[in-house]
Amino acid sequence: MRFLIALAALAPLWAADLLLPLRTRVETFKGSGVWDEVRVERALPVHQTAILICDMWDNHWCTGAARRVDELVKRMAPLIDEARDRGVQIIHSPSEVMNFYADAPQRQRILRIAAVELPPNLNLSDPPLPIDDSTGGCETGDKFYKAWSRQHAGLRISGNDVISDKGTEVYSYLQEKGLQNLLVMGVHTNMCVLNRTFAIKQMTKWGKRCILVRDLTDAMYDPAKRPFVSHEAGTNLVIEHIEKYWAPTVLSADFQRALRQAQ
């Protein structure tokens, strides 16, 4: 009996579940165009769950976007550190800057994973976005240039984290480690968060259970474009679109609460 008690005391944190209140949307009466907000709770085993940080670069060609990323980092960094400490796998995915991390152990770690055979894509509906981002979505009038050279320095890369900007690498790693649930945070909601090969659309098509952390993301949207709403409202429209067609969402505070209750 004493031996069993000792084993229980040594049980890793990842043996617990994260009980997350998720938000999604359902067209209750099909074809009506009316979508009802639905709340559900799901228990995610910590050892099957990862966070993916999408394109949180050190700089951006759009000064408005760069300022908002700086603010996101302040709220995102402590949550990532706490999740790591409690056994959640952290995946850093700053696209187009892998040369900066070529010698990092976290980059080398994922490169050592053997590629797995990819499953066929699920046949999922992909309606157009509810906002017009055809001109790049920058409301501060800046012109494009490649401003980024690394991930934002405010986000710590540590421990057993991995670094990749390729969907095949990320999927192979998830399969190798038995990771089924992917909490996605970062930018930009209507672009990279949806469309990168490592992000929500493709990972969902490959059968991974994606969840968007909806208050730790931001859209590239200019209020001067359709549907002519505020930047925040435009971001919320994209979040609702994701909830309809691609993935449920969770608030960071609810995720943090679940981490602490899973001890």
Q: At what angle do helices 63-85 and 252-261 cross, to 10 degrees?
A: 10
Amino acid identity of residue 200, one-letter, is I
The tokens describing 249, both together, are: 């969402």
| Length of the chain in terms of residues written | 263
Residues of the chain with pLDDT under 70: 1-15, 263
Which residue do the tokens 């945070």 mark?
185
Distance of CA 150 to the CA centre of its chain: 18
In angstroms, the CA 229 to CA 237 distance is 10
Amino acid identity of residue 181, one-letter, is N
- pLDDT tens for 32-62 read 999 999 999 999 999 999 999 999 999 999 9
Strands 181-187 and 49-54, bridge-based pairing: parallel
Task: Dump the DSSP string for the chain.
Answer: -HHHHHHHHT--GGGSEEEEEEEEEE-SSTTS---EEEEEEEEEEGGGEEEEEE--BS--SSHHHHHHHHHHHHHHHHHHHHHHHTT-EEEEE-TT-GGGGTT-HHHHHHHTSPP-PPPPPP----PPPSS--TT---TT-PPP----SSB-TTS---TT-EE---HHHHHHHHHHHT--EEEEEEE-TTTHHHHSTTSHHHHHHTT-EEEEEEEEEE----TTSTT---HHHHHHHHHHHHHHHT--EE-HHHHHHHHHHT-
pLDDT for the residue numbered 263:
67
Kindly list the structural domains of the chain, giving each domain's residue range(s) and its CATH number in brackets, ordered by start: 45-116+128-261 (3.40.50.850)
- pLDDT tens for 85-114 read 999 999 999 999 999 999 999 999 999 999
Task: Dump the DSSP string for 188-248.
Answer: -TTTHHHHSTTSHHHHHHTT-EEEEEEEEEE----TTSTT---HHHHHHHHHHHHHHHT--
